[in-house]
Amino acid sequence: MIYTQHRSFSDKTLKKNAKIIIMNKYLTKEQRIELIARHKLERDKRVADRIKTVLFLDDGYSRHKIANLLFLHVDTVCEYVKAFESTGRLEPDHKGSEKTLEDEETKELSDHLESKIYTKTKDIKAHIKETFEKDLSLSCIRDWLKNNDFTFKKPKIVPANTDPIVQQKFIDHYEQVMNEAAALGEPVLFGDSVHP
């Protein structure tokens, strides 16, 4: 249990008669030595700041003074102290974000993207909203695509007014010329308008 002493005083930066909790020594000598040793070995700056917060508080510094010393906001210092006092936790307690899509939705969307080609992320977003009733941001969809091994490839330019019948006639004629030249042993020369 941590014992605190409440004092009322006035300060220019605080409201008059505001109650400030000033922590008395509440760490044992062994706990303090252990925290100092851990701080020296700690590579994560966030955990190191939490350790310094507890050590400064044990030295009798106010939360405002600790915030100034560590370049943190007072609310952040209060959160660090609260976490340490309640559970002894010094590590950040981030659980990560929610899944973007459930496993079944991911499989269904992957299958859909394999069968249909989209050129714009906003079109995929519209499909997700219509199919799964989820309104995801474009950056979230891009991340999902990357995490699921989908890549963006710029579409190749294709002539707009192609006539498949004319193309097939050209291919047939080309193959006929190449076959005849090969049968006669004659070379086929290609010419263009580029000059050296």
The Cα 2–Cα 17 span in angstroms is 23
**Could you read off the pLDDT of 6-61 as tens digits, one per residue?**
443 444 444 433 344 444 577 899 999 999 999 999 999 999 999 999 999 999 99
b or e along 21-37 (b: 16 or more beta carbons within 10 Å of the residue's beta carbon)?
eebeeebeeeeeeebee
CA nearest to 38, candidates 60, 57, 54: 54
Domain boundaries, the chain: 4-87, 103-147
The dihedral sign for the CA sequence 107, 112, 115, 120: negative
pLDDT at 2 over 50: no
pLDDT at 4 over 50: no
The Cα 20–Cα 54 span in angstroms is 16
Q: Count of CB atoms within 10 A of residue 41's CB?
A: 7
**Could you read off the pLDDT of 176-193 as tens digits, one per residue?**
999 999 999 998 888 776
Percent of the chain with pLDDT over 70: 84
- Distance between alpha carbon 19 and the CA centroid of its chain, in Å? 40
Global pTM reads 0.42
